[in-house]
Amino acid sequence: MVRRGDAAEGLALLRRELERAGDARFLPRFLFPLGEFAACLGEAGEIEKGLAIVTEALERCKARDEHWYISELLRIKGELLRKQSEQGVAEAAEQCFEEALALGREQGALLWELRRLSLARLRVAQNRRADAAQILTPVCEAFVEGSRIADLRQARALLDELAGWNRSPARGALACVFDKDRKIVKEMRSGSL
C-alpha cells in the first residue's frame, strides 16, 4: 500500500499487524515485515524511525546468528541513510550496500546480489556512471530468466539509461563503453579506461 501511494494506511496496517504479533515479532519469520516496515517508513519520510527499526532487526539477527535476511536489512539501512542529507551519510550508506553485496555473494544468493541496484543508484548520484554500470552488468547478465522480477527490470532500465548517457557525443571516449547488448567492453572490465 505504501509503495502504491497510500502511505498512511499502509504504515498503519504494518504497525497494527506487528503490534498484534506481540513478542512473536522477534521471531525470524518477522524479519521480512520489519524490514519492509522500516523501508516504508523511509518512503514516508520517517527516516529516523525506519533506521531505529532496521538497526534493531540487524542487531537481533547478528545476536542470534540469523543471517538469512541480513543482506536485505543492510540494503534497507543503506537506502535510509542515503535519504538523509547529513554529511558522511553517503559513505555509511555505501558501506551498508557493500556489506550487503558481500554477504549476498557469500551466501550464493543471486536475488540479494540483484539488490546491488541500490549501490548503482548511489554511484549515479555521485556522478560515477561507469562504476554504476560495472556494478549492475554482471548480475544482469547472470539472469537468463526472471524478466518479471521488479529489481531486474529496474536494473536493466538503469543500464539502458547509462548506456544512452555513455553513447552521447558529449561523453567522448566513454561513448564506446557499451555495445548494443549492454555489455561492458574489455577495457572497462580490466580497469584500463
Q: What pLDDT band is residue 188 in, cutting at 50, 70 and 90?
A: very low
Grid cell in block for residue 54? 532496521
Give the residue with greater pLDDT, 185 vs 156: 156
Nearest CA to 124 out of 185, 82, 76 is that of 82
Residue entry with cell 503490534: 19
The pLDDT of residue 66 is 86
Give the residue with greater pLDDT, 165 vs 66: 66
Give the residue with greater pLDDT, 80 vs 1: 80
The pLDDT of residue 2 is 60
The pLDDT of residue 110 is 79
For 1-107, which CATH superfamily applies?
Answer: Tetratricopeptide repeat domain (1.25.40.10)
Q: What confidence tens digit (pLDDT) does each residue in 141-162 have?
A: 888 776 788 888 999 999 999 9
CB 117 within 8 A of CB 151: yes
CB 139 within 8 A of CB 114: yes
CA-based end-to-end distance of the chain: 44
Q: Structure pTM? A: 0.75
Grid cell in block for residue 89? 551519510
The pLDDT of residue 173 is 32
The pLDDT of 95-112, averaged and rounded, is 88
Distance between CA atoms of residues 96 and 78, nearest Å: 5
Residue entry with cell 524511525: 49
Grid cell in block for residue 93? 550508506
Q: What confidence tens digit (pLDDT) does each residue in 51-83 have?
A: 999 999 999 998 888 888 999 999 999 999 998
Domain positions in the chain? 1-107, 116-193
Distance between CA atoms of residues 58 and 179, nearest Å: 40
Grid cell in block for residue 88? 558522511
